[in-house]
Each structure stands twice: as structure tokens, then as C-alpha cells.
Amino acid sequence: MKISTRVNHPPAVAVPADNRPLVAPIYQSVKFTFDDVAETERQSRGQRDGFQYSRVSNPTLQQLSLTLAQLQGRDDCLLTASGVAAVNLALLALCKQGDHVMLFAEMYQPTRYMIRRLLGRYGVTHTMLSIEDTVGIEQALAAKPTRLVMFESPSNPVLKIADIEAITAAARRHGALTVLDNTFAGFHNHGQFEIDVFVHSLTKYASGHGDVMGGAVIARRELIDRMRQDFIVLGATLDPHTAFLIQRGLKTYALRYERQCANAMHVARFLEGHPQVARVSYPGLTSHPQYQLAQRQMLDAGTIVSVELKEQGGSPAAFANALKLFAISASVGSTESLVQPGQLMKPRDLNESEQQWAAVSDRTMRLSVGIEDAEDLVADLQQALSAV
């Protein structure tokens, strides 16, 4: 055979069945092949195991799917190229024209855009409330047949805690599905509740290193099977190499999250006692208005702290600029600590009363706490407070 043929048909290397790699290899192949047409057809019809095309299924993605489903305590998982793709594809797959969706002003801005603007164009209506309005949630669900309730907890950036038991009970009473964007709380939290669908941005705590993007939708078998074909056709598939990196990142998920929570508590306590600080919001502090609820429904208090300086305590921008270890950055869940001042997080799509619910002022600052040494982080906050 000539070179042009040989390079396209390299020798196959078979690994013996009793000689497995400790770390699963990346199946960086779009296509998978069988020896004959009959087996190919059997696989297409679901009559045998196997793979054919990576937009439909791939072994590296399947391993990550199963891992995430187990972590969140559900049957199965669909993977997407980003967190917003997970949110959006789940909404598209679950809703049809004429459906009504409930959402909250405290939610991730692109999710609000998807429900209000994009789904609105396709004839899906919505009601937007504050996540604290448990009475209003019950009333709105009783007043109007609702396909699903989409929510988050803790909220971004001021860390309001959704009363998950009250919300899931109300949704169940009125025949609505519940969809929880569980990115902030993580896979180890909230699995005990009767949530129908979990979505996660894998860009944050799952991959953990701020170098890849991904998303996941996790649910019981019947719901995943119902959504699967829509996901395949919409095509926002995760790449196998990225799936491999997320699987690798997950090995230290528990260690990172635990350390980040411990550091966040340390930082929150320091800031709460500081004379230049007006307010600290962290669900692990007894001063948090929903401390008891957070204690009941979460295993920890998360890795995000939000803080407001007093008017005379310095400008948020100057404070962010003065920090050396906290990088000015959108996003959360990196191993490095990050800071985002309120002027960069203003929810401009909300009207005045909705902005009050969202509770993001120009003086709000979000800290995403990393895995650095807690004393070094406090020293950095201390020097920045002295500098402003």
C-alpha cells in the first residue's frame, strides 16, 4: 500500500480486556464503525450497545454523563457545550407553544432572556416573581396552568435561598415541573428534594479550572429519554476532549468545593467584623436572613460571598482595583479568587421594582472565593480596604 493509503488505515492497537487504562482514554472520534451492515443497523435500532456518531453518543461523554447523574442522585444526564446551552435546550425540549413558565428576577440574566424574549417569540408566556415570594408563587400557580417553574438557589449575586420544599410542593400541587439551575450549590446539594430537572454549568465547579466550558441536564430516565432526541437535533454537543478535561477536573471537585467553602466562611467572618463594611451576605453567617433555611437544605454554605462597603468605606471600583489576589472577572468557581463589582452586574433588563428584588446595587460586590490560603486572602482584603 502507498503512503496515502497507509496513513489513513493505521494498524489497530487492541488493549486486552484484563489490561485497562487507569484513566479512561479520550474517544476523540466522531465516527464509530462495525464490521458489517447488519450490526450497524441493529445498533441504529437500539437492539445492541455501541456508538456510531459523536453528536448522538460517545464513550467519553457517556462516562461523564453517568458520573454527573450519580453525583446529583438521578438516572441520567445530557451534556451540552456550555451552561446556557443546558438551560436553553432543557427549556426548548420541555416547552411548547402556549405553555406558561414561572421564573424569578434574581436569576441568571441569560436565562431571563431565554424565557422572556426568545421563548416569548415562540408563544410561551411567563410570570416573573421574586424568589422570596412563596405566597405569590402558590397564587400564580393556582391562577394559571403552568408547564414549569425554573429557579436557582442560592441566587446570584446576593445569595437569597429558595425555599425548595415549598416551591416543589406548590409545583406538584398544580402539575408543574420544577427545573433547578443548581450551578451555585453544586452536585452534592439539593438531590434530596423532589426536583424534576437539574441544570448545571460545568464551566464552574465541575471543570473547576476556568479553562473549558460545558453544561449538563440531569433528571430521571423518562424525562431524559423524552428530551434526548431534541438535544441531538439541536446539536450543542460537548466535545470529547472537553468532556475528558471536565472528568479530570471532577476528581478534585469535593476537595476544591470544601476548601472554597471554608475559605468563604473565613472571608465572610473577617468582612462582617470590619468597620468599613456595611453588609455581608453569606448563607453560612447567622446574620443571613435565611440562615436556618440554608442550614436545613444545604450541606454547606457555598463559595460565594457578597459584600457592600459603607459609603465612607471606599468606592467598590477602587476596592476591586486594589485587590491583588482577587482578579476582576465575571464568572465564579475558579481555583483563583475573583471579584465582580455591582456596576458590572446591574440587571438592566429589569424594571425598577424587579431590580429591587434582584437587590444588586452599585455598591454590591461579589467575591468568588478560590482555594488559596485563607490568611493570604484576608490579608489581601485588609490591604485593599486600607488603600481605599
Ligand X SMILES: *Cc1c(COP(=O)(O)O)cnc(C)c1O
Interacting residues toward ligand X by CB under 6 A:
82-84, 87, 108, 152, 156, 181, 183-184, 201, 203-204, 213, 215
Nearer to ligand X, 58 or 242 (CB): 242
CB-based closest residue to ligand X: 83
**Least distance (Å) between residue 269 CB and ligand X:** 25
Nearer to ligand X, 109 or 321 (CB): 109
Nearer to ligand X, 83 or 284 (CB): 83
Backbone torsions φ then ψ of 279, nearest 5 degrees: -160, 140
**Least distance (Å) between residue 42 CB and ligand X:** 37
**Least distance (Å) between residue 85 CB and ligand X:** 7
Sign (positive/negative) of CA torsion 272, 278, 282, 288?
Answer: positive
Do 374 and 261 touch, CB atoms closer than 8 A? no
**Least distance (Å) between residue 332 CB and ligand X:** 6
Burial of 354 (0-12, 13-18, 19+ CB in 10 A): middle
**Least distance (Å) between residue 83 CB and ligand X:** 2
Backbone torsions φ then ψ of 83, nearest 5 degrees: -65, -40
**Least distance (Å) between residue 215 CB and ligand X:** 6
The three-state DSSP-derived secondary structure of 10-73 is: CCCCCCCCCCCCCCCCCCCCCECCCCCHHHHHHHHCCCCCCCCECCCCCHHHHHHHHHHHHHHC
> Residue 308 has which C-alpha cell?
457592600
**Least distance (Å) between residue 157 CB and ligand X:** 10
Spatial distance between the Cα atoms of 89 and 332, rounded to a whole number of angstroms:
22
Backbone torsions φ then ψ of 12, nearest 5 degrees: -80, 140
Nearer to ligand X, 152 or 196 (CB): 152
Nearer to ligand X, 128 or 213 (CB): 213
Q: Is the peptide bond before 16 cis (omega within 30 degrees of 0)?
A: no
Nearer to ligand X, 260 or 385 (CB): 260
> Residue 96 has which C-alpha cell?
411548547
**Least distance (Å) between residue 152 CB and ligand X:** 6
Q: Look at residues 173, 126, 164, 128 and name the one whose alpha carbon lies nearest to residue 181.
A: 164
Spatial distance between the Cα atoms of 179 and 268, rounded to a whole number of angstroms:
30
Label residue 13 left, alpha or beta by phi (over 0 means left) and psi (-120 to 50 means alpha).
beta
Nearer to ligand X, 213 or 365 (CB): 213
Nearer to ligand X, 201 or 263 (CB): 201
